[in-house]
Chain A
Amino acid sequence: MPKPDDAAWAKILWKKQPFSDNYVPQNLFLSSLRRNTNFKPYTYWPVVLLSCAITQHISTIFIFLATFVRLRERLLDPRTLVLISVACFVAGYTVWSWLDVAMISKADRNANHLKALKSSILIFFALMSLSPVLRTLTAATSSDSIWALSAVLFILNALLADYSVHDGQVHERLTSVLSMNAAISASVVLASRLTTDVAVFALVLFSVQAFALFPMLRHRLQASTTAVQCSLTLGLALTALSLTAPLSWTVTCIFFMTLVSVTFLAPACLVWAQKFKNEIRGPWDVAVPKVN
């Protein structure tokens, strides 16, 4: 064997080279290895801002639960809740159509308004006529099972919800549909623990607001300015805390800890863990075909 010399070595198989088969060219070996090529390090505050969506969602769940407890304990008149729901809907819809102004023509906007009005009236009456059925739906089931079931469903809802940012056209994914269904089912089984039809109607109407319509609005607001995001998050979190606090001190503590860890601790962990990132790329990777 001649003296190993990297300059004479070529990365080819078709020609017999004057090197043994286990010769490793020190300078050329793994020369095409790339580490962390597509790696964009996260910084702390933008991640905190992105986590706001999760905070908002968890806050919504707790607002809903606090409302349910108040209805069950008869601390809240169901008719007031219906009024609040309608007010929320009107406010939310105003914001929604205000966001639409820039994107959609006037004729389309009017058609959309009519459609929205029609479907909201439809849902309103459908829920109203269904509420006696929903009230007795799980009469044969013990309350313990209902609490466990609704807890599982709400956890599923929070895990599967779509927290991504997208503007304009919402592309529904299977997970976000499942998430919404889990939340509505959870509220239906909870509603079945209430005693009057009006209360059931009020709670389910509120759940449609909170878990079907609000996430859609949230997606669009997420694309807007930081100030809007922060104030919305803060507003929701404070509302949830103030509604939970009078009911149970323990739950409020747990809820507060959850919010802090999701918003501030988890992003810090992510930023810290980035230093372990070691993405290896090389000629053996499956290429991504570029098609026009």
Chain B
Amino acid sequence: MTPLSIAMISDFFHPDVGGVENHIYMLSATLIGKGHKVIVITHSHAPDRVGVRWLLPWLKVYYIPFLPIASSATLPNFFTSLPYLRTILLREHIHLIHAHASLSSIGHEGILHAHLMGIRTVFTDHSLFGFEDAASILTNKLLAGTLKNVDAVICVSHTGRENTVLRGELFERDATAPSKLIVRNNVYVIPNALVADEFKPGPPKSTDIITIVVLSRLAYRKGIDLLVATAPRICAAFPNVRFIVGGDGPKLIDLLQMREKHLLQDRIELLGSVRHSDVRSVLHQGAIFMNTSLTESFGIAILEAACAGLYVVSTRVGGVPEILPSDMISFAEPEEDDLFRAMSEAIRIVAAGKHDPQRAHERVKTFYNWEDVAARTEKVYDAVMKSPQIELWERMQRTMELGPFAGPIYTIILIVDCIFFMFLEWWMPREDLDYANVRWNAERFARLAEKERAKTMQSTVNAGG
């Protein structure tokens, strides 16, 4: 397809670390490799990460000066980002913006403003939400307001798509039977991926001692209560088993108490928080990976463990059952007894040497790779670019469908946004903008780098001589 200029917009990006952050970076890098121009727009980080930065491979990152309020998300205020985004999107000649994560307000704002400049929009949802508590109800309404006018939605798992379709009200009336509601045809499922070569299996281990690895944030949602309940039972039933638990969080105290109470200090090792670069070395120490999450949209940690050759035991929640074939993973219901049963089975399988880490690695390698994800995402971009732009009048009509209260509010926001944009057009005319016309030139960079290296070599030789 013809190369596009794409802007990834999300509150969650480097220097923060996490699943969404990694996804955006890897997708951008792969798309750059395919010849597109990609920039990332995110909020600034204290103390001094603000302005334009470059990341390898020539990925331009705009840190716009907004401060996050909680968990690295900025306050949703709809309008204040427009001057920044307008300038950036125009000067970079952006064709399409790709917003990530449903709690990232800057992404929502990008989708709200994009149509003013004729820019198309894609949104990727990374997480699952319930429908019960007040926080979910509010954020779901916010999401529904944004997704009414988005050109395409990508979800990371089939379960995630069901969830997003319900939360974002992504239904429309069937053209043939007006009483029937069908899912909009611009909702895609494209899974996450991983760099398989970064998670190669470690050297073969003896099966005398079986190490179980747990790597997770120690929080209620990660099912640490189940771990606390089952770990002593597993230790009592299998004298050759030890645990390594990596991660930090509010439930750490429960784990420490459990270890104290059952005198398992020599068999359960608590590592505290583990840096992403150390994950592989922790995984290499183990033979079984245990995941006790109570909800999970995709479960990239499970995939990384499976790729590193560990046998995986997981609770059957969210999108986890979709990501691996059933012979590579044992499932348990989120219950103490069932988890114990699944773990016992897994320990027997591994002790009998029935699990081949190398083969597991080779298989995972064929399942997921970023090239495939980028190619599938490109198809979405292509479909979006070919689809007709939604007119303002239709946008207003769609927004009014949100409901008797939210509908008018969002429509007013939409209209005020248009007026604000017209004001900006007068106040900062397009002719006066500082356009970025020069693209990163890889060859020139290589030449310069080579020259620089030669110069340093020369000076070292001179200094040495």
Say yes or no for A102: interface residue by CB 8 A criterion: no
Query: Is the pair B189, A13 in contact by a Cβ cutoff of 8 Å?
Result: yes
Query: How many whole Å from A109's CB to the nearest CB in chain B?
Result: 38
Known pairs A21-B379, A284-B160; A14 contacts B166 (CB<8 A): no
Chain B residues closer than 8 Å to A30, beta-carbon distance: 162, 165-166
* B-contact bits for A259-290, CB 8 A (1 contact / 0 none): 00000000000000000000110111111111
Chain B residues closer than 8 Å to A280, beta-carbon distance: 131, 166
Measured in the bound complex, the distance between the Cα atoms of B372 and A279 in whole Å is: 38
Say yes or no for B50: interface residue by CB 8 A criterion: no
> In residues 8-26 of chain A, which contact B (Cβ within 8 Å)?
11-16, 21-22, 24
* A-contact bits for B153-190, CB 8 A (1 contact / 0 none): 01001111011011000000000000000110111111
From A11, A285, A286, A292, contact of B336 by CB (8 A)? A292
Query: Is the pair B191, A287 in contact by a Cβ cutoff of 8 Å?
Result: no
Query: How many whole Å from A265's CB to the nearest CB in chain B?
Result: 25
Say yes or no for B407: interface residue by CB 8 A criterion: no
Say yes or no for A121: interface residue by CB 8 A criterion: no
Query: Is the pair B335, A290 in contact by a Cβ cutoff of 8 Å?
Result: yes
> In residues 273-327 of chain B, which contact A (Cβ within 8 Å)?
292, 294-295, 297, 315, 317-319, 321-325
Say yes or no for A33: interface residue by CB 8 A criterion: yes
Query: Is the pair A14, B162 in contact by a Cβ cutoff of 8 Å?
Result: no
Measured in the bound complex, the distance between the Cα atoms of B167 and A285 in whole Å is: 13
Query: Is the pair A283, B159 in contact by a Cβ cutoff of 8 Å?
Result: yes
Query: Is the pair B323, A14 in contact by a Cβ cutoff of 8 Å?
Result: yes
Q: Quick check: which of B12-20, B223-231, B349-357, B397-405 contacts chain A, the rest being far away?
A: B223-231
Measured in the bound complex, the distance between the Cα atoms of B189 and A16 in whole Å is: 12
Say yes or no for B129: interface residue by CB 8 A criterion: yes
Kindly report which residue of chain A lies nearest to residue B292, judged by CB atoms: A289
Chain B residues closer than 8 Å to A33, beta-carbon distance: 162, 166
Say yes or no for A227: interface residue by CB 8 A criterion: no
Say yes or no for B267: interface residue by CB 8 A criterion: no
Chain B residues closer than 8 Å to A13, beta-carbon distance: 157-158, 189, 191, 319, 322-323
Chain B residues closer than 8 Å to A285, beta-carbon distance: 130, 295
Instruction: Specify the main secondary structure of chain B where it touches its partner.
Output: mixed
Say yes or no for B128: interface residue by CB 8 A criterion: yes
Query: How many whole Å from A183's CB to the nearest CB in chain B?
Result: 29
Say yes or no for B25: interface residue by CB 8 A criterion: no
> In residues 79-102 of chain B, which contact A (Cβ within 8 Å)?
none
Query: Is the pair B317, A22 in contact by a Cβ cutoff of 8 Å?
Result: no
Say yes or no for A291: interface residue by CB 8 A criterion: yes
Query: Is the pair B186, A283 in contact by a Cβ cutoff of 8 Å?
Result: no
Query: Is the pair B367, A14 in contact by a Cβ cutoff of 8 Å?
Result: yes
Query: How many whole Å from A147's CB to the nearest CB in chain B?
Result: 35
Query: Is the pair B324, A290 in contact by a Cβ cutoff of 8 Å?
Result: no
From A11, A15, A24, A289, contact of B294 by CB (8 A)? A289
Chain A residues closer than 8 Å to B159, beta-carbon distance: 11, 282-284
Known pairs A12-B322, A14-B324, A291-B226; A286 contacts B130 (CB<8 A): yes
Chain A residues closer than 8 Å to B376, beta-carbon distance: 21
Say yes or no for B65: interface residue by CB 8 A criterion: no
Measured in the bound complex, the distance between the Cα atoms of B324 and A12 in whole Å is: 8
Query: Is the pair A284, B334 in contact by a Cβ cutoff of 8 Å?
Result: no
Query: Is the pair B162, A289 in contact by a Cβ cutoff of 8 Å?
Result: no
Query: Is the pair B368, A14 in contact by a Cβ cutoff of 8 Å?
Result: yes
Chain B residues closer than 8 Å to A12, beta-carbon distance: 322-323, 325
Say yes or no for B343: interface residue by CB 8 A criterion: no
Measured in the bound complex, the distance between the Cα atoms of B159 and A144 in whole Å is: 61
Chain A residues closer than 8 Å to B336, beta-carbon distance: 289-292
From A15, A282, A287, A291, contact of B315 by CB (8 A)? A287
Query: How many whole Å from A21's CB to the nearest CB in chain B?
Result: 4
Query: How many whole Å from B403's CB to the nearest CB in chain A?
Result: 14
Say yes or no for A98: interface residue by CB 8 A criterion: no
Query: Is the pair B221, A14 in contact by a Cβ cutoff of 8 Å?
Result: no
Query: How many whole Å from B144's CB to the nearest CB in chain A?
Result: 14
Query: How many whole Å from B337's CB to the nearest CB in chain A?
Result: 7
> In residues 204-225 of chain A, which contact B (Cβ within 8 Å)?
none
Instruction: Return 25 A-B CB contacts under 8 Å, by A number.
Output: A11-B158, A11-B322, A12-B323, A13-B158, A13-B189, A13-B191, A13-B322, A14-B368, A21-B379, A22-B185, A24-B183, A30-B162, A283-B159, A283-B162, A283-B317, A284-B130, A284-B160, A284-B162, A284-B163, A284-B295, A284-B297, A288-B334, A289-B223, A289-B336, A291-B225
Q: Which residues of A contact B (CB under 8 A)?
A: 11-16, 21-22, 24, 29-30, 32-33, 279-280, 282-292
Other than A22-B189, A283-B159, A291-B226, give 5 A-B pairs with Cβ distance below 8 A.
A21-B379, A22-B187, A33-B162, A289-B226, A290-B334
Nearest first, the 6 A-B pairs at minimum CB distance are A284-B128, A290-B335, A284-B163, A287-B334, A21-B188, A13-B191
